[in-house]
Amino acid sequence: MPDPSSIADLPTPSLLVERPVFDANVAAMAAVHPGPALRPHVKAFKSTALAGELAAVGHHHFCAATIREVEGMAAAGLGTDLLLANEVLDARRLGALVEQGHRVTTAVDSEETVRAAARGGVREVLVDVEVGMPRCGCDSADAGRIADLARVAGLEVRGVMGYEGHLMMTSADKKAGAVEAAMARLLAAHDVVGGDIISAGGTGTYAVNVWATEIQAGSYCLLDTDYASLDSPFEIAVSVLGTIISVSAKGWAVADAGLKAFGMDHGNPTWPGGELFYCSDEHTTLLDPDGVLRVGDRVRLHPGHLDPTVARHEQFWVVDGDDVVDCWPIDLRHW
């Protein structure tokens, strides 16, 4: 099959990235958090090619959610400073990367995760602090003890991290105060732990979190309908391309991209051309009361949640309008 030059040449469903929108999103974030002030989170896009685009504008430190993501970034030559922003109980694969000369830091929040880091050959850690979201992280009052355990185990403690994920979608009038309260817990921990790094934040709080030394945002460069509901300079750059395979005289049309092409935990995708009725396994039904759609038409559907949508696809087709201008493999999938 020759390289596609148009979206008409692509199989469907295919995952598209609108290049002009992507570039504008990247520039907007870099203007607020340039260089190392942003540690892009690769879990959002799972692509070393896309990460390379961010490195090209000065973001050389990255964070990840899985060991596979860290390994892939290192193999792609993007291992200047990699943070596994997650706890693991088997760090041997991370230790192997350290032995190869990559700088790899991992999060710890307990005696067990400290022991795992030391046993696996990781040399640097951040103490992960719970700042209000009921997920990983130690209590801020326990952060000093965890840091002491890490240092006794021979690890360098670079600082602290905390994720205010529960505040990403908070209303604008309440967000700044809520983030400040969450960061007060992280700063209290940092006062005891020490180190140069206070790592926090995300696409939903990047503009108001002025306490972190680095922001862990990733979704901003592609966005999804959930984040698009916020007041921000970022726009949706990603869509799933589908083909209309059936049209009903009763007022609907069916595209060949369904539940298996989208992350659905934040709700249905949206169709900019009108109302989306529902999704089933391989199909999305679009309401078409005026009979505009025809069999063979291409439609772009915007996902509600970026990260799990990306994990269902093997590549991004980079487009400018209807022209295909590049292909970025989604090579950091799996574990």
Q: What is the pLDDT of residues 70-95, one digit of tens each?
A: 999 999 999 899 999 999 999 999 99
7-14+234-329, what's its fold?
Answer: Lyase, Ornithine Decarboxylase; Chain A, domain 1 (2.40.37)
Which pLDDT score is estimated for 79?
A: 86
* Cβ partners under 8 Å of residue 23, min gap 6: none
Rounded Cα distance, 125 and 83, in Å: 9
pLDDT tens digits along 47-68: 999 999 999 999 999 999 999 9
**269-278: average pLDDT:** 96
Alpha-carbon span 239 to 302, nearest angstrom: 5
Tell me what pLDDT residue 126 has: 99
First-last CA distance in the chain = 30
Mean pLDDT for the stretch of residues 289-303: 97
Percent of the chain at pLDDT exceeding 90: 99
- Asked if 225 contacts 272 with a C-beta cutoff of 8 angstroms, the reply is no
Residue with tokens 């950091």, as numbered in its chain: 332
CA-to-CA distance for 53 and 50, rounded, in angstroms?
Answer: 5
Predicted confidence (pLDDT) per residue in 197-247, tens digit: 999 999 999 999 999 999 999 999 999 999 999 999 999 999 999 999 999
SS3 330: coil
Fold equal for 7-14+234-329 and 19-219 = no
Beta strands in 74-216 (DSSP E): 81-84, 104-108, 124-128, 156-161, 197-200, 214-215
Quick check: pTM over 0.85?
Answer: yes
Topology annotation, domain 19-219: TIM Barrel (3.20.20)
pLDDT tens track for 162-190: 999 999 999 999 999 999 999 999 999 99
The two most distant CA atoms of the chain are separated, in Å, by 72
Instruction: Tell me phi and psi for residue 248, to 5 degrees.
Output: -110, 140
Residue 193 CA to residue 188 CA, distance in Å, equals 9
Question: Hey, what amino acid is at 208?
Answer: V
* CA gap 131, 161 in Å, rounded: 9
Residue type, 244: I
DSSP for 180-246?
HHHHHHHHHHHHHH--SEEEE--TTTTTT--S-SEE---GGGT--HHHHTSSSS----EEEEEEEEE
Task: Say if residue 1's pLDDT is above 70.
Answer: no
Q: Are strands 197-200 and 214-215 parallel, antiparallel or unpaired?
A: parallel
Residue-range domain boundaries for the chain: 7-14+234-329, 19-219
Nearest CA to 190 out of 127, 282, 139 is that of: 127
| Average pLDDT in the chain | 97
**Residue 64 belongs to what H/E stretch?**
strand 61-64
